[in-house]
A and B are shown apart, each in its own frame.
Chain A
Amino acid sequence: MNSLTPKQYKIIDFHRETNDTVTLTADMKIKHEPGQFVEVSLPGIGEAPISICSFSKDYVKLNIRQVGNMTNALAGLKKGDKICIRGPYGTGYPMHYFKGDNLIIIGGGCGVAPLKGIIDYVEKFRKDYGDIILFLGYRSPDDILFQKELDEWKEKFDLTVTVDQNSESKFCYDANTEFVTEALKRAEFDNEKKVAFICGPPIMMKFVVGILKDKGFNDDQIYLSFERHMKCGVQKCGHCMINGIYVCKDGPVFRYDQVTELSEKW
């Protein structure tokens, strides 16, 4: 079979997450790492790379933000519908390297989705890891993803949620109205036995890297996840190249010291 040919799967769970995002679960039983992605197709509409936001051998969960034709069509599906998927692709978070470490997880907007894979992973192997500190930033209370899960995370982890604006003063997990970078700046921690994971808009990642370095983090303690248009997902089509690296194969997850030299990264 051609590596560009997807297989058919069934949607076993589907729910609306926010106004412009949905989360669907496909019965794709496949080994994967947190941070990897799949290529999701709706024949006739097209194909799009979507990161896996779960960690299970029984299914994959995909959080989809409606930004174009393909994602809009995906958002119009329902439980029981068929979709086509190929993957998983790319290099995820090498979780076994971090055994015994404290994990700082910093996500912005829909960048939280791939990070949820880490959280799911850690919950499965909780005793292997130290403290889990989450900083999750959203535009407004209405944009907060994984609200069901947040209640649990609040109990289990050190959770900080921020919203850029909260004109309706809605309750949102004790969120402050500020950029997630502000909350991070204020937080008191150093780099001792810690690894940081960042995923979000390029400008946010750039700032967060700066803040972490101010706190003493080394480049090799920071992991980030890049977004490009991974059209083929299998290191061929060339669309996702950042200088000489293929985001679809060498990434989407990179250790910061791997990419410091890349002039096209932001």
Chain B
Amino acid sequence: MNWHTLLFYLFALMSCGFAIAVVASSNVVRMAFFLIVSLASTAGLFFLAGAHFVGAMQIMIYVGGTLVLLIFGVMLTAHAAFVSMVTKSSDWVLAAVFGGALLGLLALTAFSVEDWRVARGDQAAVTSSEGEFASSIGQALMGMRVDRLSEGNSQLEAGMSGYLLPFEIIAIHLLVVLIGAAYLARTKRRVGSVTEGVQ
């Protein structure tokens, strides 16, 4: 019994199945719940791939932050007419044809490379003590790539300088975005335009 493979199929089935449920459901409250389960199962897939820190962040930021934000949006706009909006069946047919074609293309591409199809032979010899922990990720964000100290190719050494600049950019970006979102979301309900909009 290979527990890694078994758990992979369990989490893969859950994340794919609930992602399909998000598409198939027309009730926006149920969609939000299905999305939570799907993204949480994806965190399980991250753990199985050895990305412990990313899996933890997936649960904390995505499931704990972003989706709570989305659920607040659902609750704030939960007018009876908007909770369940039915899509036209002609739209469904178009989307199914286009989505099926895209999925077929992506699946063919995923299984076309021989090296990707099989796992590495010495999988049992790989241990997580080789520096896949939060400290090496933190040092990479500070500009030190402790995992690539022994880069043999001297031309590649210039690219091993870490992620300090993207980290700073994304920090400022997040600050600006949150200020902008708070500014945009201020309640300035224009009574006249609301009655116009209803008609």
Determine if chain A interacts with chain B. no
Q: Which residues of A contact B (CB under 8 A)?
A: none
